[in-house]
Amino acid sequence: MGELEIRDALDAGKTVTVDGETLPVLAQTDVLVAGGGPAGSMAAIASGRRGAATILVEAQPFLGGIATGGPIHSYYWGLSGGLQDELDRRNAELDPQLAASVRGWHPEGRKIALDTMAERAGVNLWLRTSVTGAILEGDTVRGVIVDGACGRGVILAETIVDATGDGDVATLAGARWRMGREGDGIPMAYSLTPGTSRERDGAQVAYANFDAGWTYPTDPIDYARAFTIARRYLWRDPYDEEKRSLFSGAILGVRESRTIVGEYTLTLDDLFFGKCFPDTIGKTRSHYDNHARDYALESTQARIFCDVAGNWKTALECDVPYRALVPANLDGLLVAGRCISMTHDAAQAVRMIKDMHRIGEAAGIAAAISARDDVSTREVGVAELQRELVKTGILTDAEIAAGRREERRQPRLIPELIEALGEEGRETAIWELYRVGEAAHDALIEALASDEERARYAALVLGAQGVEEARPLLVRMVEERDDTVPSNHPYVQPRWVGALACLTMEPRVEERDLYAAALEAEAPFAEPWLYALEGIEALSDPEAAGAVRCLLERIRADERYWSETYDPKEHPGWKLEIAAAKALRAMGDPEGEEILRRYVDDRRLTVSRYARSLLEEASEE
């Protein structure tokens, strides 16, 4: 945002001139942490405890983010260790004074515990203060512009940690970033969680998490829409004791926003194969928890991982490398929390509160070392950082040794994987065989002639790899509506849908009727319809227009696809209409463009932006 120029003013102390604007220097510090959620609060406390003068800037009037104001006040996946163990212990001591029974921890108790830990660490809290700009000297971030009750000014720092969740500081400083999935660019669903205390739960202080839709969290108008529509869902029904909510969360449960492009980008394969890194700062653990049922709009890897292989609940765990916290084109800055460098697929797993705590603590320690030694964030001694993390309980010596060897779980031997296709737990074998690639083709093709169950799973692997020999069996699975599932979870799709997903990667004209017939199938999550529409779009055959119109008529007349309830992802009318519009437009049918133009004016920015991008693509062709 321009060159840094500091000078002393006669009356107001130091000032900074940024792009021609002169701003007062409100404070100077060793470490500045932007954002006081699960990652940022731990970063600031860790930094302060290591003797660094630390300022924590937070837009809300409390610390803890989703864990207090969310209020998601229990853990799901993730790993323990570090400052969070102390935080949990303090919470457990406070909670009996606040309620007789609590699910997880009391959010008010957590606010008190975080305040106490921050104060005792010497952290200087700036609440109700927002970061609105970044101060750079070359490629080094030297401070931030803040707005609050004190007015607009600058905080200068030796090292800055961006724990805003949205990667605000990094973005304002010019970092590259990603957001959203491949199919439609939409990030994960958000929630607005109500607090509850219901008789059936013994008057326990609890919450009722639910998905309210999709939003671009960095757009203030769409963010406001997301808040208001979510609150409307909460109060939609007449009062009764079982549905009563005491309050709605003070902040949205945003699961995905910007992820900053760093020195290393975590991937789904890193998580699945347990990749270890020499610069590890600890592990992360979850599953592919993307709160979606429309994997046809996700990446190719996600389609195969979830819809073909059935890995929705498979545990994913790997190291988080320090490099994932270092923006690729900036210095003086670390990112922490859900904005670290990772793919959209990895972001489905690397976002649990426990792991945000751990990543934040590591970032805070690294920032304190950087400020103390007057070295860039890239030059922080990883060995010292890791020793400190061993002391806190986030890392072990064994994990550091495994990282130095860059260990990675290797796929099992091909004969063993082929055998596993006929057994429970086959979902991981399907993915491993897919990732082995061509080396497994001969064994998989041979398996097509084995027992029927193993043959069908072998066909799914080969189909995902585009191997022609699998196609006849894939077609048969679709025609028969093979409803066997590769793993036991309600979100896992039956085998015929996995086969359809494989076929649509390279659709054939002679299979047009197969896709048209799939539009008539019963589909509680609409997944096969999305795949079938994709295949029809690729074929661009006007003969399929009738089947597409029949689907449109059916979903438009059925309120199940449009109802506004607790779980909008179960009502995919708009997604189906847009997918149908793409198919019709590919055939040259004007109704396709008419539908897209209607969605350009949709009040949901996620939807209108997607429709607009499709129209712009067409105009460029």
d(CA 357, CA 371): 21
3-class SS shares of the chain: helix, strand, coil, % to 5: 45, 15, 40
Q: Which amino acid is at 293?
A: R
d(CA 418, CA 448): 11
Residue 341's pLDDT is 98
Q: How many CB atoms lie within 10 A of CB 100?
A: 10
Residue 260's pLDDT is 98
d(CA 468, CA 449): 15
Spell 61-83 as b/e; 16+ CB within 10 A means b.
ebbbbbbbbbbbbebebbbebbb
Among left, alpha and beta (phi > 0; psi -120 to 50; other), residue 368 is: alpha
What pLDDT, in 10s, does the model give residues 277-319?
999 999 999 999 988 888 899 999 999 999 999 998 999 999 9
Structure tokens, 493: 């799709």
At residue 524, the 3 state secondary structure works out as coil
Residue 8's pLDDT is 41
Residue 242's pLDDT is 66
Residue 329's pLDDT is 92
- Return the residue matching tokens 């607005």: 192
Nearest alpha carbon to residue 47 among 35, 60, 33, 57: 33
Number of separate helices (H) and strands (E) present in the chain: 23, 18
Q: Output the CA–CA distances (angstroms, integers) from residue 435 to 234, 445, 464, 485, in the order listed.
A: 43, 16, 10, 21
What sign has the CA pseudo-torsion 461, 467, 471, 472?
Answer: negative
d(CA 89, CA 97): 14
- Percent of the chain predicted with pLDDT > 90: 81
What pLDDT, in 10s, does the model give residues 78-116?
999 999 999 999 999 999 999 888 999 999 999 999 999
d(CA 100, CA 271): 39
Nearest alpha carbon to residue 276 among 290, 288, 286, 266: 266
Structure tokens, 442: 């001969």
Residue 53 DSSP one-character state: -
d(CA 46, CA 52): 9
Q: How many CB atoms lie within 10 A of CB 410?
A: 9
- Radius of gyration for the chain, computed over Cα atoms and rounded to the nearest angstrom: 26
**C-alpha angle 37-39-41 in degrees, rounded to nearest 5:** 60
pTM: 0.93
Residue 10's pLDDT is 34
d(CA 361, CA 557): 52
Residue 182's pLDDT is 84
d(CA 93, CA 216): 38
Q: Is residue 85 within 8 Å of 117, Cβ to Cβ?
A: no
Averaged pLDDT in 10-residue chunks for the chain of 621 residues: 45 76 94 98 98 98 96 95 97 93 94 98 97 96 93 96 98 96 90 83 82 92 92 70 80 95 97 97 95 88 95 95 97 97 96 98 98 96 98 97 95 95 95 96 95 95 97 97 92 94 95 95 86 96 95 89 62 90 96 96 93 87 64
Residue 304 DSSP one-character state: I
Q: How many CB atoms lie within 10 A of CB 443?
A: 16
What sign has the CA pseudo-torsion 564, 569, 574, 580?
Answer: negative
d(CA 533, CA 584): 9
Spell 562-597 as b/e; 16+ CB within 10 A means b.
eeeebebbebbbbbbbbbbbbbbbbbebebbeebbe
Residues with Cβ < 8 Å from 105, sequence gap 6 or more?
67, 73, 74, 88, 91, 92, 95
Residue 320: its H or E element = strand 316-321
Q: Packing angle between helix 38-49 and helix 107-120, nearest 10 degrees?
A: 30
Q: Output the CA–CA distances (angstroms, integers) from residue 592 to 548, 598, 614, in the order listed.
A: 10, 10, 11
Q: Is residue 31 within 8 Å of 144, Cβ to Cβ?
A: no
494: preceding bond cis by omega (within 30 degrees): no
Q: Output the CA–CA distances (angstroms, integers) from residue 182 to 52, 130, 219, in the order listed.
A: 41, 31, 20
Residues with Cβ < 8 Å from 303, sequence gap 6 or more?
295, 296, 501
Q: How many CB atoms lie within 10 A of CB 294?
A: 22
Structure tokens, 7: 């000078």
Q: Is residue 159 within 8 Å of 30, Cβ to Cβ?
A: yes
Q: Is residue 462 within 8 Å of 444, Cβ to Cβ?
A: yes
Q: Is residue 64 within 8 Å of 131, Cβ to Cβ?
A: no
Structure tokens, 213: 């839709």
Q: Is residue 440 within 8 Å of 430, Cβ to Cβ?
A: no
Q: Output the CA–CA distances (angstroms, integers) from residue 437 to 143, 334, 369, 467, in the order listed.
A: 48, 37, 44, 10
Q: Is residue 142 within 8 Å of 30, Cβ to Cβ?
A: no
Q: Is residue 114 within 8 Å of 107, Cβ to Cβ?
A: no
Nearest alpha carbon to residue 367 among 161, 162, 173, 167: 161
d(CA 609, CA 268): 27
d(CA 50, CA 238): 53
Q: Is residue 146 within 8 Å of 26, Cβ to Cβ?
A: yes
Residue 237's pLDDT is 61
